[in-house]
């Protein structure tokens, strides 16, 4: 999740555990602890792919954060002994552990069990979702205005947690909705990713991969009886095979669970993470190699410039979420003319 959300979660947990004893100051302590694991973004691992896939790595590992919580609890106890070591440990443990657990509900990929096991990406909530964050912020603001309003931060935590639970239920409902349509289209056992569209859990995007084709479906809870629209995208499996022996390509395949789109521009072979963003506005594209006659030359990966954000997209996403626009063409992020299929 975004830094504001993690800080709000950390502050809320700190207020719930130690607000009556330490007052307003504990919210700042919780907010700092809540953003601590994301400091790994300052580390340069040498290449763009390494930086991308190592983020949310060791700093989000339960094997690292659990002992770190003990150390920090001891230091904080020595600093402010009016709170017992056990209470400090509850505070640091809850904040440090919930940070990666919350991240794992997003699509990016959180290495909860680093250095073993694949990244965890439940994909039930967008990285920025106001309906999750606002209850936490409201509880913290009420606490600041009338300390020690422990019940306010607990209420904020309860509402946000219930919303996170709703996201899991919504994801399962959408999954069951799209699977029959995919099977009817000939995709009987595709690799399937179902995730919310930006900033909400009412409108969802399903991405299915099978062979040399990719199918995208956008559907939501306010669609009524609108039939599902399947949008087809070709896959360059020849390029995937061409770079399959490259360590950085293998690393990307592992990190994204194969949800990559390969393309060649000029002599450059590139891979795009199609999980994040939307078609035409995927933020993570990496150059992996260059063509050299009949072969390829590996290159130290680098990231291509981030696509410009279409300022009209938010309004279109809103109209699609509410059902006012029944079909949204992801390829161009536009509403098709009547009778036109994407």
Residue 184 near residue 46, CB atoms below 8 Å: no
Rounded Cα gap, residues 255 and 257, in angstroms: 6
pLDDT tens, position by position, 144-162: 998 878 899 999 999 999 9
pLDDT tens, position by position, 189-210: 899 999 999 999 999 999 999 9
Residues with Cβ within 8 Å of 296's Cβ and at least 6 positions away in sequence, in order, are 242, 243, 269, 289, 290
pLDDT of residue 338: 60
pLDDT of residue 317: 79
User: Is residue 337 very low, low, confident or very high in pLDDT (cuts 50, 70, 90)?
Assistant: low
pLDDT tens, position by position, 233-272: 999 999 999 999 999 999 999 999 999 999 999 999 999 9
Does residue 279 have a pLDDT over 80?
no
Domain boundary among 122, 142, 172: 122
Does residue 83 have a pLDDT over 80?
yes
Tokens 């395949």 identify what position?
Answer: 253
Any domain includes 323? no
- Bridge-based pairing of strands 268-273 and 285-292 is antiparallel
> To which H or E segment does residue 53 belong?
helix 48-54
Any domain includes 265? yes
Range of 17's domain?
3-122
Does residue 311 have a pLDDT over 90?
no
Query: Pick from 174, 163, 281: which is nearest to 219 by CA?
Result: 174
> Rounded to whole angstroms, what are the CA distances from 174 to 182, 219, 275?
12, 8, 17
Higher local confidence (pLDDT), 295 or 236? 236
Any domain includes 298? yes
* 56-84 per-residue burial string, b: 16 or more CB within 10 A, e: under 16: bbebbbeebbeebbeebbeebbeeeeebe
pLDDT of residue 329: 77
pLDDT of residue 334: 62
pLDDT of residue 137: 97
* Mean pLDDT of the residues in the chain: 92
Query: Pick from 259, 133, 244: which is nearest to 191 by CA?
Result: 259
Residues with Cβ within 8 Å of 160's Cβ and at least 6 positions away in sequence, in order, are 9, 132, 133, 135, 136
Domain boundary among 67, 97, 122: 122
Of 107-111, 172-176, 280-284, 334-338, the poorest mean pLDDT is in 334-338
pLDDT of residue 293: 78
pLDDT of residue 330: 78
Residue 17 near residue 95, CB atoms below 8 Å: no
- For the CA atoms of the chain, what is the radius of gyration? 22
Rounded Cα gap, residues 106 and 123, in angstroms: 4
Mean pLDDT of 5-28: 95
Does residue 339 have a pLDDT over 60?
no
Q: What share of the chain is helix, strand, coil (3-state, %, to 5)?
A: 45, 20, 35
Mean pLDDT of 313-321: 77
Q: pTM for the complete prediction?
A: 0.92
pLDDT tens, position by position, 65-80: 999 999 999 999 999 9
Any domain includes 335? no
Mean pLDDT of 216-240: 91
Residue 143 near residue 27, CB atoms below 8 Å: yes
Any domain includes 170? no
Could you report how far apart the first and last alpha carbons of the chain are, in Å?
32
Q: How many domains does the chain have?
A: 2
Any domain includes 273? yes
Domain boundary among 90, 122, 154: 122
Any domain includes 96? yes
Tokens of 40: 């790994």
pLDDT of residue 224: 82
> To which H or E segment does residue 204 belong?
strand 203-210
pLDDT of residue 91: 98
Mean pLDDT of 82-95: 97
pLDDT of residue 308: 72
pLDDT tens, position by position, 89-138: 999 999 999 999 999 999 999 999 999 999 999 999 999 999 999 999 99
Mean pLDDT of 164-190: 95
Any domain includes 16? yes
Residue 286 near residue 252, CB atoms below 8 Å: yes
Local structure of residue 42 (DSSP, 8 states): G
Of 217-221, 227-231, 259-263, 276-280, the poorest mean pLDDT is in 276-280
pLDDT of residue 341: 64
pLDDT tens, position by position, 39-60: 999 999 999 999 999 999 999 9
How many residues are given for the chain? 342
């Amino acid at each position: 999740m975004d830094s504001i959300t993690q800080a709000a979660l950390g502050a809320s947990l700190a207020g719930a555990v130690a607000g009556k004893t330490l007052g307003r100051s504990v919210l700042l302590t919780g907010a700092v602890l809540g953003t601590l694991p994301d400091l790994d973004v300052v580390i340069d691992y040498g290449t763009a792919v390494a930086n991308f896939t190592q983020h949310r790595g060791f700093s989000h590992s339960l094997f690292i954060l659990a002992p770190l919580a003990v150390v920090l609890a001891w230091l904080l106890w020595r600093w402010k002994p009016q709170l017992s070591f056990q209470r400090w440990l509850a505070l640091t443990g809850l904040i440090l552990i919930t940070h990666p657990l919350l991240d794992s509900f997003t699509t990016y990929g959180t290495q909860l069990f680093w250095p073993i096991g694949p990244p965890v990406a439940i994909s039930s909530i967008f990285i920025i979702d106001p309906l999750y964050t606002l209850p936490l912020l409201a509880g913290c603001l009420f606490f600041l205005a009338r300390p020690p309003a422990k019940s306010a931060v607990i209420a904020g935590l309860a509402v946000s947690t219930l919303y996170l639970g709703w996201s899991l239920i919504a994801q399962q409902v959408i999954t069951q909705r799209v699977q029959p349509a995919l099977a009817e289209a000939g995709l009987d056992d595709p690799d399937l990713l179902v995730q919310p569209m930006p900033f909400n859990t009412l409108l969802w995007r399903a991405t299915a991969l099978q062979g040399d084709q990719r199918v995208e479906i956008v559907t939501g809870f306010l669609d009524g009886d609108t039939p599902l629209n399947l949008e087809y995208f070709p896959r360059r499996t020849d390029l995937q095979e061409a770079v399959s022996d490259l360590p950085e390509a293998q690393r990307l395949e592992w990190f994204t669970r194969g949800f990559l789109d390969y393309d060649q521009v000029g002599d450059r072979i590139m891979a795009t993470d199609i999980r994040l963003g939307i078609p035409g506005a995927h933020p993570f594209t990496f150059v992996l190699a260059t063509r050299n006659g009949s072969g390829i030359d590996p290159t130290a990966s680098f990231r291509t410039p981030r696509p410009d954000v279409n300022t009209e997209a938010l309004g279109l996403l809103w109209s699609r979420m509410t059902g006012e626009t029944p079909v949204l063409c992801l390829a161009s992020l536009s509403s098709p003319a009547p009778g036109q299929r994407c």
